[in-house]
Amino acid sequence: MKSSQRKLVNEIAALRAKCMKRQVPEATTRIFCSSCRKEATGILKSAEDPQGVFESFRSNGSVRALVMLKPGIAYSFLKLKGNHWQFKILCDWEDPDALAWTRTMLAKHRTLLKSHEFAGFMDAGLWSLLPDLKRCGISIEAVSLIGRTKLAIKKCPTSIVWPSGYFVRRVQKKDIRELLSLMRTEFRRNPQFGWFVSHPQFLKMARDGFLKDCKRKRPFEFVVIVNRKIVGHFGAHVTNPHGFGYKSASIGIGFKREHQGRGLSRLCYQEAVKVFSRERVKFFMGVTAQPAVMKIGAELGRELISFNMSSRKPYFTNDCFLKYPIWPKGIKVRPKYLK
Ligand SMILES: CC(C)(COP(=O)(O)OP(=O)(O)OC[C@H]1O[C@@H](n2cnc3c(N)ncnc32)[C@H](O)[C@@H]1OP(=O)(O)O)[C@@H](O)C(=O)NCCC(=O)NCCS
């Protein structure tokens, strides 16, 4: 790498770290810094794509914003054919010049943005760019929520009382086929809550995750049983250390249709938080467009840290997500609903 490129990588990584620290103040570990550098290197590499776009805004000797557009699917776990493109926007939202520059870039590349199916993740702090993205045909598909176990456990009851007849046990190998079928059925029925979940590639990944959990001494995946039948599941994929540099969980949950709408998921989240506390999991993350998950997330103090953006036809309006009540303290200017 040339020294000018190395300098640019360092500047992009510094911008990434600065923005993330406003949302997750704990993101100061060496692991996090090296993940920022890795991301920055990837962004620069994609700048070499002849079809793609890479624009950056510098002031006072450092990068304050960048816009990257390139062909390829944004979800690392899916390999899909089609007109998929991804975007990345990094911008110091406390710098009005950087925000204004980013708006100009979105207007400049509107035709390109409108002519492909785009997806990408964007910091919650950039919420004021949502109308600009909307004009490019891109809107929020889901939000990422981050929970802190230490806070959440204080909000959970000491004993969790399930309705009579319901009980919880760890996932066993014999359950996996049924769990995958539950996921396939529910997310095909309601793709707006995660269209990719019913995709065979995602289900294969889920199967591998369940199988791995079955071999663990102390499990993270659970089923909810009534009359010996599985009616739902909840659990987490745990990474140690995660990109922020701490043990973190990525949570999943689902019930059969006839067991939805009974408030059972609240009990599942409480059970999961207890497990996280026992296993010293610091953060629990999740991507969701589910109003029930957002409601319970807010009860557990989870903060909204990023948007999953997409040019697929939106099912929910941006406002539905912007009304989420808990935002990181480092995002000082917030949507009107939260003032
Ligand atoms: C998502 C899911 C787990 C929710 O579980 P649930 O136990 O059925 O949730 P409930 O419908 O009982 O709702 C829980 C709370 O959210 C509230 N809620 C539900 N839908 C809501 C909506 N559209 N707007 C506002 N609040 C809503 C409920 O009123 C309830 O609050 P309350 O107990 O204070 O009254 C369940 O619907 C499911 O399995 N769906 C299919 C799979 C799925 O979407 N998984 C989540 C992917 S992120």
What does the pLDDT look like over 100-123, one tens digit per residue? 999 999 999 999 999 999 999 999
Which amino acid residue places its CA nearest to atom 25 of ligand 1?
291
- Provide the Cα torsion 24, 100, 59, 32; round to 10°: 20
Report which DSSP code applies to 218.
S
**In the prediction, which pLDDT does 339 show?**
58
Q: Domain 156-300, what fold? A: Aminopeptidase (3.40.630)
**In the prediction, which pLDDT does 9 show?**
94
- Mutational pocket test of ligand 1: of 255, 296, 324, the residue with most ligand atoms within 8 Å of the beta carbon: 255
- Kindly report, residue by residue over 169-207, the tens digit of the pLDDT: 999 999 999 999 999 999 999 999 999 999 999 999 999
Domain ranges within the chain, ordered by starting residue: 3-144, 156-300
Q: Residue 304: is its pLDDT beyond 90?
A: yes
CA distance 288 to 143: 5
CA distance 278 to 240: 15
For ligand 1, the distance from its centroid to the CA atom of residue 216, given in whole angstroms, is 29
Binding-site residues, ligand 1, Cβ < 6 A? 186, 193-194, 253-255, 260-265, 288, 290-293, 295
- Mutational pocket test of ligand 1: of 265, 271, 293, 300, the residue with most ligand atoms within 8 Å of the beta carbon: 265
Query: Same fold for the domain at 3-144 and the one at 156-300?
Result: yes
What's the rounded mean pLDDT across residues 216-241?
Answer: 97
Q: Helix H segments across the chain?
A: 3-23, 30-46, 96-108, 110-114, 130-135, 149-154, 176-189, 200-214, 264-278, 291-299, 318-322
Residues whose CB falls within 8 Å of the CB of residue 28, separated by 6 or more in sequence, listed in order = 21, 245
For ligand 1, the distance from its centroid to the CA atom of residue 96, given in whole angstroms, is 38
Place of tokens 């909204």: 304
Residues whose CB falls within 8 Å of the CB of residue 52, separated by 6 or more in sequence, listed in order = 46, 68, 69, 70, 71
What Rg value do the Cα atoms of the chain yield, rounded? 21
For ligand 1, the distance from its centroid to the CA atom of residue 293, given in whole angstroms, is 6
For ligand 1, the distance from its centroid to the CA atom of residue 112, given in whole angstroms, is 37
For ligand 1, the distance from its centroid to the CA atom of residue 263, given in whole angstroms, is 7
For ligand 1, the distance from its centroid to the CA atom of residue 47, given in whole angstroms, is 41
Q: Does domain 3-144 have CATH number 3.40.630?
A: yes
For ligand 1, the distance from its centroid to the CA atom of residue 261, given in whole angstroms, is 6
Region of 60 on the Ramachandran plot (φ > 0 left; ψ -120 to 50 alpha; else beta)? left
From the alpha carbon of 260, which atom of ligand 1 is closest?
8
Which amino acid residue places its CA nearest to atom 11 of ligand 1?
261
Which amino acid residue places its CA nearest to atom 15 of ligand 1?
292
Q: Residue 14: is its pLDDT beyond 90?
A: yes
- Kindly report, residue by residue over 84-93, the tens digit of the pLDDT: 899 999 999 9
Q: Work out the end-to-end distance of the chain between its first and last CA atoms, rounded to an integer number of angstroms.
A: 46
From the alpha carbon of 193, which atom of ligand 1 is closest?
44
What's the rounded mean pLDDT across residues 136-160?
Answer: 97
What pTM value is reported for the model?
0.95
- Mutational pocket test of ligand 1: of 160, 186, 192, 290, the residue with most ligand atoms within 8 Å of the beta carbon: 290
